[in-house]
Structure 1
Amino acid sequence: MKFLQWLHRWTGLLILIQLLLWTISGLYFALVDHHGMKGHQYHQHPPHFSLSAEQLEQLDSSWWGDLQEITQVRTRLVVGVPQVEIHHRDGVAYFDGRTGEPWRTHQNRAIDIANSTYSGPGEAIRVASITRTRELHGWEGQGYRIDYNDDLNTRIYVDSVSGQVIDHRNTPWVVADWMFRLHFIDYTGGRNFNNLVIIVLSVVTLWFALSGLILLFKLLGTGEMRFSFRQVAFEAEVGQERKTFKDKAHKTLLQVLQQRDIPVESGCGGGGTCGLCVVEVNSDTPITPAERDLLSAEQLAQGYRLACQHQIGKVTSARVKKLDVSKYTLTLASSEFLTPMLKELRFIVEEGDVHFAAGQYMQFLIPSASTSTRPHDVPEAFSPEWLNIQAATFEHEDVRRSYSMATAGPARELVFTVRYQPATNGHDRPGVGSTYLCNMRVGEKIVAEGPYGDFKRLHGADRKMFFIGGGAGMAPLRALIQEELAEPSPRSIDFFYGARNRQELAYVDEFEHLKERAMIHFEAVLSDKRESCDWQGAEGYVHEAALAFLAEQDISAYDFYVCGPPKMLSATLQMLEHLGVDRSRIRYDDFGI
């Protein structure tokens, strides 16, 4: 018994130490912006230059004639030197585009490559050859580490085989890395929350935590803890009207303004990815990394900030642009599956027509309640791959979720495509907004506010229109295409739409019909290789299919419209940037989902 008491005491001490480490690291994650943990404070994307016609003529295919099963050939300029990248059966090979010799990155070139991605105030002071490093988990090879003498001790790693920057590291990243190690109890740097140490600790903690809590409650003589937040005064100027009110200091400007029925654009629901919730505050208000990415230097200097990035306890007043939006009561008229995870919802507006431009969106006011997630009536064709929403009940606060209209306006019937967000990434419940909307019954009502957004057609030019989309991004793109086709002389339209498999293609019959009538050029692209046996269309990622098509086109003749999942959106925008498309000719919608 004494041995068990001794074991309990010391094991309990070890568990307490780990709980303290979890608390410290958890507080760090809550207080430090995630943009500051990446080590990219002084990272910039290097300018993209294509090979000139003379450089392309100098390339000789005999350089890589010994390689087997070549699948892809790419060319680029690496700090002014042409490079050829060959994908073949045994991997990837790199050649000097001037001589055909295997690519080599010497120290001076490595410094130039690192400098092309560095925007900080320092200079390169040290370069060292490396084959592996603790700061790059899982990387091994030949490379260089370049140290800079700035305030963050920036280090840039360059791969000598490919001549590419592997990543940036600095002191804030080291702190964040150790916090991840302490939190995940994975000291390899892999950030794996399913390692053997934490599994063993979880089993041991289960018993010790229960017994420890009982002893703690007896010792303290209480079983209840109360928390409260300081109330602060806040002033908002909307147009010519000033409003003053009090609220909890931990809330963001966006939350307070929306709860006080002051309209503010927000596509991502406060995630800091869409850049729409712009308000004017004091110019000395701190600038967050998200604001540096999404707002211009001129806007930041004038005091514009994102309402979702600041709490009212730190910003006491703000000027908000007055928006011409209204609240509407919508009655669900029909609810139909388009794909296993995408539902088309048709609502009737009680107040009459809503005047909106194609590409705009509405904010749905999802009420706070015990939301029951009822199983759906799933069409038989979808049932093999459908993840049924199991019956469950969970509590949530009032939230707003944004969805684009899937048809052109004005209209009394509003059509939306809602993608159900299942419980993923460690979360034990599905998306609040999509679950609520997908479980509405015909005849039920909901309030929506809008229209919001500037994802509209570019006017004043006769350029052709190029649409790239995927998933629920179909909705605004479909509306924009409908609006353009309604014009007396519609512009030429190319539309590339991506999905994993044929079941996830929404409205494909509609666009195939338009293609047959020569009204648009439409290409459906599937990324699931299992479809290749009987699929006659394009395969791979949708931005890659679009890139292959654009390689034979005059890119300057197009305006581009992009909407889809975050990874697809990011890859497509990066692809357009590499092609040299001016940002003024690109429209995109980022809902952060």
Structure 2
Amino acid sequence: MKFLQWLHRWTSLIILLQVFLWTLSAAWFTIMDHDGMKAHQYMAHGDHSMLNTTDMVDLNQFEHHFTDASLVRVQLVDGIPQVVVRYGEDEYEYLHGLTGLPWQTGEAMATRLAQASYSGPGDVKRITAIEETWELHGWKGSAWKVEFGDDLNTRVYVDENSGTVIDHRNTPWVISDWAFRLHFIDYTGGRNFNNLVIITAAVVTLWFALSGLILLIKLLGSGEMRWSWRKVPMRTQAGDSEVNLVTPKHRTILQTLQSNELPIGSGCGGGGTCGLCKVRVEDESLPVTDAESELLSQEELAQGIRLACRHKTPTKGKVVLQDNAARYELELTSSRFITPLMKELKFSVVTDEHPEFKAGQYVQFLIPEAVSRARPDDIPEPYHGVWESIAEVEFEHSEVRRNYSMAVRPGAEELVFNVRYQPTADGAKVPGVGSTYLFNLKPGDNVVVEGPFGEFVRTDNEQHVQCFIGGGAGMAPLRSLIQEELESESPRKIEFFYGARSKQELCYADEFEELAEQGKLLFTPVLSEATSHCDWDGPKGFVHQTVENYLKDVDVLSRDYYVCGPPAMLAETLKLLKSMGVPDSQIRFDDFGN
């Protein structure tokens, strides 16, 4: 009898717990809409384009596949015709419509297909080859998992054998999936209400409930689940007076600083990939995260330097800002195109104090919530052809922060920036918010910036040649560094290799060619897309290839290298320098990819 009472008592607890789970999961189903539960918030709906098979595909080359086929159709996948052959009810074969070979979806194509099916605000941050995943119940095969950096942690799965976008997954879907499991007591996720798991759950739920209760009590006792407020002492590295910030304990240090308008560098939005939000925390018990082990040096870690985005607000010790940054108001004095898609913006400083920065550093522009036009009004006539494909539309955007490097030496009366327009990318609804807003500024308009930030500054070895390697918008910090070097008391020898696709995109070419004629530097522009009709006698190809040919005949270890430009160009150049044995201490770079 005592055993029956004991069992009855605990069975009542299990029933009570299940009632609670039913109520909780039902509430989630009420809140979340149908697209949300299917992870289709950012899905761009569309089907494969069907073809007139006589136009692009010769089906005669596929005759041996059609013997037992029950269905044959032709469709476009990433602009390529694909032949789909079905055998029986559910066996499929996918063939390349032009070659007749089995279809293969590579990493680059999978990325494009995922972007085409995606309509959210994020960019691709990772792509992984997989053969199984719990997020696609019942699916088997080989696929690509494409992850986007948005607020929902969207993941797009692309089948490798067919190029089909299998489905989208995100954090709300994970919550919905678990809500289904809890609501129907189906922890396998198979939507099968008569399975061994449900039967077993009836026996072991007692221990689940007991252990869960213990863990809940432990969490409540530790304070991790409480919404409490505390004062956090913070000060700048320069030794300014301390300020006490009142903040919820669950916030990260970065969120605390930003919410209190204390400027701090951050290029990845708190994702732990850029390594810019450095602070010194006077708390020896603070652990070192994986991101910090990768992005910070051992010397920095030993000094208590941490990434503000990786840690919750500390319960003890002070937080010391590493960059003594400030906020400035700027007024646009002039704006001009220097390439078809790049503008030079010059600003005067409205605030009383002028920013003190080092060459190579950047500031954060606070782009306000506004309505921006996709095309500016002042496009020069020679560049009209480049802008023909950009729609003349207006769009609303929320407040964001964007980083831009100074393109002028320290001490100049005006601050100069190079802003490259970012057209609408695959899967995106609007063009680049920051560049579009800045492109439409008129002389007299004001903006707010924070900074300066960054460690892309000159070395102090007076004997080394200064070798600058750049491309595209990487011109801005390199121009600042070169100007600062030329203004120094004893300028070191300068070599400047700059890559662009065409002559129109060679910004500041006249300026550097004049400096080269004066013997102040060696300037080598390189065009990657120079045609036979182009009046160009200089090096052609990629800039890192020209650098490689040049370095074969010089002492590579007698140079300090500064690299800045598009991610692909940066990666190839750093790979080249590593292969030539150049030590890290002689390489400085600014990674726009982060």
TM-score, normalized by length of structure 2? 0.60
Sort the Cα spacing of 1:252 and 1:343 in 2 relative to 1 into closer, same or farther, 3 A.
farther
Matches within 5 A, 1:501-512: 501-512=502-513
Q: Quote the Cα distance in structure 2 between the aligned partners of 1:561 and 1:269.
A: 25
Q: Quote the Cα distance in structure 1 between the aligned partners of 2:556 and 2:517.
A: 25
Which residue of the partner structure matches residue 7 of structure 1? none
Sort the Cα spacing of 1:506 and 1:533 in 2 relative to 1 into closer, same or farther, 3 A.
closer
Tell me the CA shift for residue 526 of structure 1.
Answer: 1.5
1:379 and 2:376 aligned = no
Which of residues 214, 217, 229 is equivalent to 1:233?
Answer: 229
1:487 corresponds to which letter in structure 2? S
SS in structure 1 of the partner of residue 573 of structure 2: helix
Q: Quote the Cα distance in structure 1 between the aligned partners of 2:353 and 2:409.
A: 16
Matches within 5 A, 1:423-572: 423-528=424-529, 530=531, 534-572=535-573
Indicate if the aligned counterparts of 1:369 and 1:396 stay in contact, CA closer than 8 A. yes
Tell me the CA shift for residue 246 of structure 1.
Answer: 2.6
Q: Quote the Cα distance in structure 2 between the aligned partners of 1:440 and 1:426.
A: 27
Tell me the CA shift for residue 503 of structure 1.
Answer: 1.7
Indicate if the aligned counterparts of 1:268 and 1:402 stay in contact, CA closer than 8 A. no
Moved more, 355-364 or 297-306: 297-306
Q: Quote the Cα distance in structure 2 between the aligned partners of 1:541 and 1:526.
A: 7
Q: Quote the Cα distance in structure 2 between the aligned partners of 1:199 and 1:483.
A: 51
Indicate if the aligned counterparts of 2:528 and 2:541 stay in contact, CA closer than 8 A. yes
Indicate if the aligned counterparts of 1:25 and 1:180 stay in contact, CA closer than 8 A. no
Matches within 5 A, 1:64-75: none
Which residue of the partner structure matches residue 334 of structure 1? 334
1:473 corresponds to which letter in structure 2? G
Indicate if the aligned counterparts of 1:263 and 1:322 stay in contact, CA closer than 8 A. no
Indicate if the aligned counterparts of 1:497 and 1:542 stay in contact, CA closer than 8 A. yes
Indicate if the aligned counterparts of 1:181 and 1:187 stay in contact, CA closer than 8 A. no
Moved more, 513-522 or 276-285: 276-285
Which residue of the partner structure matches residue 394 of structure 2? 392
Q: Quote the Cα distance in structure 2 between the aligned partners of 1:24 and 1:446.
A: 33
Sort the Cα spacing of 1:177 and 1:238 in 2 relative to 1 into closer, same or farther, 3 A.
farther
Which residue of the partner structure matches residue 165 of structure 1? none
Task: State, as a whole percentage, how many aligned pairs show the same letter.
Answer: 45
Q: Quote the Cα distance in structure 2 between the aligned partners of 1:256 and 1:390.
A: 39
Tell me the CA shift for residue 513 of structure 1.
Answer: 1.4
Q: Quote the Cα distance in structure 1 between the aligned partners of 2:422 and 2:310.
A: 24
Sort the Cα spacing of 1:201 and 1:577 in 2 relative to 1 into closer, same or farther, 3 A.
closer
Which residue of the partner structure matches residue 176 of structure 2? none
User: How large is the Cα RMSD of the aligned pairs?
Assistant: 3.8
Indicate if the aligned counterparts of 2:369 and 2:396 stay in contact, CA closer than 8 A. no
Sort the Cα spacing of 1:371 and 1:389 in 2 relative to 1 into closer, same or farther, 3 A.
same
Sort the Cα spacing of 1:294 and 1:376 in 2 relative to 1 into closer, same or farther, 3 A.
farther
Which residue of the partner structure matches residue 368 of structure 1? 369
Indicate if the aligned counterparts of 2:279 and 2:305 stay in contact, CA closer than 8 A. yes
Indicate if the aligned counterparts of 2:371 and 2:394 stay in contact, CA closer than 8 A. no
Q: Matched residue pairs, number?
A: 406
Sort the Cα spacing of 1:187 and 1:303 in 2 relative to 1 into closer, same or farther, 3 A.
farther
Which residue of the partner structure matches residue 357 of structure 1? 358
CA deviations 1:126-167 (Å, max 9, x no partner) are: xxxxxxxxxx9869xxxxxxxxxxxxxxxxxxxxxxxxxxxx
Tell me the CA shift for residue 187 of structure 1.
Answer: 4.7
Q: Quote the Cα distance in structure 2 between the aligned partners of 1:535 and 1:489.
A: 34
Matches within 5 A, 1:92-103: none
SS in structure 1 of the partner of residue 468 of structure 2: strand
SS in structure 2 of the partner of residue 587 of structure 1: strand
Tell me the CA shift for residue 574 of structure 1.
Answer: 1.9
Tell me the CA shift for residue 537 of structure 1.
Answer: 1.2
Tell me the CA shift for residue 551 of structure 1.
Answer: 0.8
Indicate if the aligned counterparts of 2:279 and 2:322 stay in contact, CA closer than 8 A. no
Q: Quote the Cα distance in structure 2 between the aligned partners of 1:289 and 1:546.
A: 34
Sort the Cα spacing of 1:173 and 1:566 in 2 relative to 1 into closer, same or farther, 3 A.
closer
Which residue of the partner structure matches residue 410 of structure 1? 411
Which residue of the partner structure matches residue 582 of structure 1? 583
TM-score, normalized by length of structure 1? 0.60
2:471 corresponds to which letter in structure 1? G
Tell me the CA shift for residue 275 of structure 1.
Answer: 1.7
Sort the Cα spacing of 1:505 and 1:442 in 2 relative to 1 into closer, same or farther, 3 A.
same
Indicate if the aligned counterparts of 1:498 and 1:541 stay in contact, CA closer than 8 A. yes
Q: Quote the Cα distance in structure 2 between the aligned partners of 1:380 and 1:24.
A: 41
Structure 2 unaligned spans of 5+ = 1-32, 44-103, 108-126, 146-155, 169-224
Sort the Cα spacing of 1:201 and 1:267 in 2 relative to 1 into closer, same or farther, 3 A.
closer
Matches within 5 A, 1:12-411: 22=39, 178-179=132-133, 182=136, 187-190=141-144, 233=229, 235-239=232-236, 241-247=242-248, 249=250, 252-267=252-267, 270=270, 272-281=272-281, 287-300=288-301, 303-310=304-311, 319-321=319-321, 323-350=323-350, 351=352, 353-373=354-374, 375-386=376-387, 387-388=389-390, 390-397=392-399, 399-411=400-412
Indicate if the aligned counterparts of 1:566 and 1:592 stay in contact, CA closer than 8 A. yes
Tell me the CA shift for residue 355 of structure 1.
Answer: 3.0
Q: Quote the Cα distance in structure 2 between the aligned partners of 1:180 and 1:427.
A: 28
Q: Which of the pair has more CA radius of gyration?
A: 2
Tell me the CA shift for residue 567 of structure 1.
Answer: 1.8
Q: Quote the Cα distance in structure 2 between the aligned partners of 1:421 and 1:477.
A: 21
Tell me the CA shift for residue 407 of structure 1.
Answer: 0.9
Q: Quote the Cα distance in structure 1 between the aligned partners of 2:372 and 2:267.
A: 23
Q: Quote the Cα distance in structure 2 between the aligned partners of 1:541 and 1:481.
A: 22
Q: Quote the Cα distance in structure 2 between the aligned partners of 1:487 and 1:173.
A: 48
2:235 corresponds to which letter in structure 1? V
Tell me the CA shift for residue 577 of structure 1.
Answer: 1.5
Indicate if the aligned counterparts of 1:283 and 1:300 stay in contact, CA closer than 8 A. no
